[in-house]
Amino acid sequence: MPVYVVTGANRGLGLEFIRQLSQSKDNTVLACVRSTSSDLADLKQASQPNEANTHVLTCDTADLSSIQSFAKQVQKTLGGDRKIDFLINNAAVNSKPEQTSLTIGPEDLTNEIRINVLGPAKTTEFLLAEGVLAKTARIVNITSGLGSMAVSLGITPRKCATYSISKGALNSLTVQQSGELREEGRLGPKCVVVCMDPGWVKTRMGGEGAILEPEESIGGMLKCIHGLGEGHNGKFYTYTGKEVPW
């Protein structure tokens, strides 16, 4: 019974992860939301086929104390020897797409770094500290093509400066985690950490003009995630499984 954790599960790509993972009753799914007081009707519906094995937990990835409480809640929810097999750090914001590298709002950049970089860093760190990550865990940081320097160099005019900078930092975090989690006393040599670009998808963040439906992006990412082996550690992939240059 594999255990999945997905952050930002109430809408967009996180919700589609839950929908697809709920098609198998073998899966245990921890669906994490910023707040359980928000409207979770879509999440309830998406997880309905496997509701007995779905647990909705609060994890505000902008708030360190919320992430800390979440990690403890995971330990209680799984109990015994059960551990997380797949951690999908999906929650993120792109709140000021109009800002350029010449008009960065200090608070805006700080906010994006807090949610898009520190959130996944601390989620992984606190889950590790609670001892709930499997030694063979697959940790997937959901990034963007805009986090690739090589891809960004080809985009004219450049776009989404603060978001792009934060996803570049998330990619760097992935490289750091992929080495440090493998050390003795942590997860060891069988864990795999990657970052993955879902493509340009029709969600609130992607907008109506996006080219992909969430079904296709998540279907591709799950196939890729399930195929991850030890040699994939520390790399950057698209939802199709193609490696992306940094």
Ligand X SMILES: NC(=O)c1ccc[n+]([C@@H]2O[C@H](COP(=O)([O-])OP(=O)(O)OC[C@H]3O[C@@H](n4cnc5c(N)ncnc54)[C@H](OP(=O)(O)O)[C@@H]3O)[C@@H](O)[C@H]2O)c1
Determine which residue in the list 62, 104, 109, 113 makes contact with ligand X, applying CB under 6 A: 62
For ligand X, the binding residues in 126-145 under the rule CB under 6 A are 142, 144
For ligand X, the binding residue among 3, 5, 13, 88 (CB under 6 A) is: 13
Binding segment toward ligand X, per CB under 6 A, in 57-65, 97-105, 149-157, 229-237:
57-65
Q: Does 61 bind ligand X (CB under 6 A)?
A: yes
* Residues 30/3, Cβ–Cβ less than 8 Å: yes
Segment lying near ligand X (by CB under 6 A), choices 101-109, 187-195, 197-205, 236-244: 197-205
Given a contact cutoff of 8 angstroms between Cβ atoms, the answer to whether 85 and 2 are in contact is yes
- For residue 177, the minimal CB distance to ligand X (Å) is 16
**Residue 29 or 92: which CB sits closer to ligand X?**
92
Of 17, 21, 16, the closest CA to residue 2 belongs to 21
Name residues whose C-beta falls within 8 Å of residue 34's C-beta, 6 or more positions apart in sequence: 8, 10, 58, 59, 60, 61, 91
Beta strands in 79-213 (DSSP E): 84-89, 133-142, 192-197
Out of 6, 22, 28, 34, the only residue in the binding site for ligand X (CB under 6 A) is 34
Helix (H) or strand (E) holding 164: helix 161-180
Segment near ligand X (CB under 6 A); pick from 5-13, 121-129, 183-191, 226-234: 5-13
